């Protein structure tokens, strides 16, 4: 199973503003996900977004 976990995200392409994220709270949440069995598969960063691709074995 895969999950996309956003750290920073700008407005979406359809003109709807994206939610505002507190980066420190997001990192704390990411740490909790890793502790609960999710693994970081990849990190993506561009001008608009920063996010991790997380992976967890299907049970």
pLDDT attached to residue 40: 94
The pTM score is: 0.68
39/9 Cα distance (integer angstroms)? 21
R_g (Cα) of the chain, nearest Å: 12
Residue partners of 32: CB distance under 8 A and separation at least 6 = none
pLDDT attached to residue 23: 76
Higher pLDDT, 8 or 41: 41
Contact 50, 29 (CB under 8 A): no
34-59: per-residue pLDDT in tens? 999 999 999 998 877 888 999 998 87
Joined tokens for residue 1:
């199973």
pLDDT attached to residue 16: 53
Does the pLDDT at position 8 exceed 90?
no
Contact 3, 52 (CB under 8 A): no
């Amino acid at each position: 199973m895969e999950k996309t976990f956003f750290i920073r995200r700008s407005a979406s392409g359809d003109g709807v503003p994206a939610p505002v994220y507190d980066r420190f709270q997001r990192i704390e949440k990411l740490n909790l996900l890793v502790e609960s069995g999710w693994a970081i598969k990849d990190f993506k960063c561009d001008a608009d977004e920063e996010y991790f691709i997380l992976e967890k074995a299907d049970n």
